[in-house]
Amino acid sequence: MKKPDSLKLLATIVFLLFGYSTGYAQLTPDSTVINIAAIAEAQNINTKVLIYIDSTGNYKPEDALKNEFTPLLKFTNRLTATPEMVPYRYFLKFTIENSDDTARHIYVYPGALFDNITIFKLNNNPDRLVDSENLSGFKSITLSGKERSSFLVCLKFVKNEISFISTQLINPAYLDTYKMKIENRHMDVKIFGYILSGVLLMMILFMLANLIITFRKEFLYNALYSICMFSLVFLNSYTARTSTPFNNFFLSYLDFLLLVLGTIFYILFTRSFLNTPVQYKLLDKVLKYGMAFITMLLGVYTYLNFFTRGYLPQYWLETVMKLLILILGVCFIVLAIRQRNRLLNYLAAGNAGLVIFFSISLALILGNPKVSSLFFSSVFYYNLGIVIELAFFLLGLTYKNRSEIIERIKNEEAMKLETERKDLEAQISIIKAQQEERNRISADMHDDLGAGMTTIRLYSELAKRKLQHIDIPEIDKISSSANELLIKMNAIIWSMSSSNDTLGNMTSYIRSYALEYFENTGINCHIQIPDDLPNVVVIGTFRRNVFLVVKEALNNILKHSKATEVNINLVRIGQELIFTIHDNGVGIDFYRLRQFSNGLKNMRKRMEDLDITFNIENDKGTLITLRRKIDGFKNA
C-alpha cells in the first residue's frame, strides 16, 4: 500500500506543477503585444513590428499576409527608402491590447512621408478601418476594454528620397505636443530660412518698385526669380515632414519645379541685365541653349512624376538637371573671368558662391548623412548660397546704377554741349551775316554817301569862292553841315567795320579824332596811351558808345570849360583799364547842369550799358574817369 500511495502522491505533484506552469504561462504577458493603456505620451514600437516589402507594388493585404514578415528592427532604428525602393508597397504588422475596462484611442504614426496610409484590423479576414481618422499622416485606432487585436498597416511612399518608416504609438492627449516636436526639428535651419525669406520678400518689393519706375524687363525677371526662391525657401522652412497633401506635392515635385523655374528666370535676367546678345555673344549662346535644355528636361521630369509609377528615372533626371545647373554656373563664372568686366565679375562672384554651396547641398543629399545638425543640412547650404548670390547681385546692381547715372550725365552733358555748340554756331553765323551786312553797308556808305557828302562840301566851297563878294550864310551852313555829317558818317562807318574790332584800333581812332578836334582851337591836347595794350576784341557797339561819350566830353570842354589844356590818358592797373579825360578849365557846377544835364545822363547811361564805371568830378578842372575790367573782354 505504501508504494502505490507514493506513486499517487508523485502523480499529484506532477499534475499540480503542470497546472501551475500552465496557469503561470497564461498569466505572463506576450512580449510582442503593446498595451496602449500604458502609453502616456509616445512609444517607438519598431522592436515589436514586423514588415513585409512588396517590390512589385501590386500586392493586396490578403496577398501580403501569405508571405513571411521580418522584424522591422533589422533595419536598425528605421527604414529609409532608397530611390529604387520608393515605388514599393510596405506592410507593417503589430498587435496591441487595451488592459483598461473602458475603450481607448491611440494614434499610429508610421513615419514620413507617405502618399497613402491604410490600416486593416486582422480578424479572420483583413478588415479595413474605414472610419479611422487621418490627421497629416497620423492614423487613429480604437480598442474596446480588455480587447487585443492585430493590425496591418499598408504604406506607399511619396516620390522623394527622404521618406522613412519608424513606427510610433501616440497618446491622443500628447498628439499636439508630438506634432510640435516634429515641426521644431532642425529649428536653426528653419529660423535661417525664415530670415532669408524676409530678405527675399524685400528683394521682390525692391525689384517690383524698380520695374514700375523703369519698366525694364530685367527687373521683372529678377522679381520672378526672387518669387521662386522665396517660395522655395519659405515652404522648405514652413512644411514639417508630415504627410499632408500639400507637403507631399511640395516635396515630391513643387520644390524642384521652383528651383528650375528660378534658374530659368535667373538666366533670362542675366541675359537682359548684361545685354549678353550684344555684349557677350558666346556667353549668351551658352545661357540660351542651357536654358532651352533645362526647360526640355523639366517637361520630361513632369511627365515622369505624374504619369509613371517608378521614381528612380525621375531621381536620376533630377540629379542630372542639378548637375547641369552647376555646369552652367561654372561656365558662366569661367566666361565672366575671361571677359574681365567689373559688372560681369560681380554676378560671377555671386554665382561662384551659389555654385559652391549648391555643390555642398547636392553632396549632402546624395550622401544622406544621419547627423542631425545645422552644418549637415542641405537646405542650410543652399540658402547660404542664395544669400551670397543676392549680396553680390546688389553690389552689381549698385555698380551698374552708378555707372548708368555717370554715363547718363555724360550723355546729357555731351548733348548739352552739342546743343550749345550748335546754338553758338548759329549765333556766330547770325553775327557773321550781320557783320557782313554791316561791312557792306559801311562800304556802300563810304563809297556812295561819303563821296556824295564830299562832293556837296566841295561844291559849297567852290560856290563860296565864286560868290566871295556876296554874303550868303546858307552856303557856309551847307559846307559846315556837310563837313559835320561827313565826320559823323565816318564814325559810323568806323564802328560798323569788323576790321576795327580791337582795343588798339579804338584808341588810335580816339587819338586821331581828339587831336583833329582841338586843332586850331587854342586848346592843347595831350594823349598818353601805352603800347602794350591787351589784345582784346572791342565790338562796334562798344566802340561807338565809348567814342560818343569821348566826343560829348570833348565837345563840353570846348564849349564850357574855358580850358587851355586837355590830358587824355589810358592806363592799365592790375586787371583794370582806366581811361581819363582831364582839363584845366573852370570845372563843372553840379548845381547848374540844366544846359547839358541830358548830355551827362546819356553819357552815364551809355557806360552803364557797357558795364563801364563812369565818374565825373572837379579836380583842378573837370576829370572824367572810365573803368572796366580786362576779363570782361574776349581775347582777339
Tell me what pLDDT residue 619 has. Answer: 84
Distant-in-sequence, close-in-space partners of 546: CB < 8 Å, separation ≥ 6? 506, 510, 610, 612, 626
* Range of 271-280, 329-338, 444-453, 491-500 with top mean pLDDT: 271-280
Tell me what pLDDT residue 70 has. Answer: 92
Which residue has cell 535676367? 269
Q: Which residue stretches of 518-624 are H helix?
A: 540-556, 597-609
Tell me what pLDDT residue 27 has. Answer: 37
pLDDT over 70 percentage in the chain: 80
Q: Which long-range contacts (CB under 8 A, 24 or more apart) does 247-251 make?
A: 247/113, 247/136, 248/113, 248/114, 248/115, 248/158, 251/113, 251/158, 251/160, 251/162
DSSP category for residue 31: T
Q: Give residue 391's pLDDT band: very low, low, confident or very high (50, 70, 90).
A: confident
- What is the arithmetic mean of pLDDT over 191-217? 86
Say yes or no to pLDDT of 599 above 80. no
Q: What angle do CA 352, 358, 360 make, to 5 degrees?
A: 110
Count of other CB atoms within 10 angstroms of residue 496: 22
Say yes or no to pLDDT of 19 above 80. no
Q: Give residue 539's pLDDT band: very low, low, confident or very high (50, 70, 90).
A: confident
Report which of residues 13 and 213 the model is more confident about. 213
| Secondary element (H or E) of residue 617 | strand 613-618
Q: Give residue 240's pLDDT band: very low, low, confident or very high (50, 70, 90).
A: low
**Rounded Cα gap, residues 244 and 634, in angstroms:** 86
**Rounded Cα gap, residues 440 and 490, in angstroms:** 14
Say yes or no to pLDDT of 73 above 60. yes
Question: 7-11, 115-119, 551-555: which range is least confident on average?
Answer: 7-11
Q: Does residue 79 contact residue 72 with C-beta atoms inside 8 Å?
A: yes
CA of residue 631 relative to chain centroid, distance:
47
C-alpha grid cell, residue 420:
550749345
SS3 state at 606: helix
- For 460-512, how does the pLDDT look when each residue is reduced to its tens digit (9 = 90+)? 767 767 666 666 676 667 766 766 676 677 666 666 666 677 888 888 888 88
**Rounded Cα gap, residues 431 and 540, in angstroms:** 12
Amino acid identity, position 533: L
pTM score, whole prediction: 0.61
**Residue 549: HSE in the Cβ half-sphere, 13 Å Cα cutoff:** 28
Domain ranges of the chain: 1-30, 33-183, 187-415, 501-636
- What is the arithmetic mean of pLDDT over 115-134? 70
Pick the CATH number of 501-636 from 3.40.640.10, 3.10.129.10, 3.40.1350.10, 3.30.565.10: 3.30.565.10
The β-bridge partners of 135 are: 138
The β-bridge partners of 420 are: none
Say yes or no to pLDDT of 23 above 50. no
* Range of 212-226, 345-359, 532-546 with top mean pLDDT: 212-226
Tell me what pLDDT residue 17 has. Answer: 44
**Rounded Cα gap, residues 294 and 255, in angstroms:** 16
DSSP states along 327-389:
HHHHHHHHHHHHHT-HHHHHHHHHHHHHHHHHHHHHHHHHH-----SGGG-HHHHHHHHHHHH
Phi-psi region of 440 (alpha: psi -120 to 50; beta: other; left: phi over 0): alpha
Question: 15-24, 162-171, 175-184, 209-218: which range is least confident on average?
Answer: 15-24
Say yes or no to pLDDT of 568 above 70. yes
Say yes or no to pLDDT of 4 above 60. no
- For 574-585, how does the pLDDT look when each residue is reduced to its tens digit (9 = 90+)? 888 899 999 998
Q: What angle do CA 8, 10, 15 make, to 5 degrees?
A: 95
Q: How far is CA 531 from CA 149, 505, 570, in A?
A: 130, 12, 10
Tell me what pLDDT residue 446 has. Answer: 57
pLDDT over 90 percentage in the chain: 20
Amino acid identity, position 498: S
**Rounded Cα gap, residues 58 and 164, in angstroms:** 20
The values of phi and psi at residue 537, to 5°, are -85, 130
What's the chain's average pLDDT?
A: 81
Q: Give residue 90's pLDDT band: very low, low, confident or very high (50, 70, 90).
A: very high
CATH class of 33-183: mainly beta
Say yes or no to pLDDT of 145 above 80. yes
- What is the arithmetic mean of pLDDT over 199-222? 87
Tell me what pLDDT residue 445 has. Answer: 61
**Rounded Cα gap, residues 390 and 404, in angstroms:** 20
The β-bridge partners of 622 are: 618
Say yes or no to pLDDT of 517 above 90. no
Question: 111-115, 128-132, 192-196: which range is least confident on average?
Answer: 128-132
Say yes or no to pLDDT of 43 above 90. yes
C-alpha grid cell, residue 270:
542675366
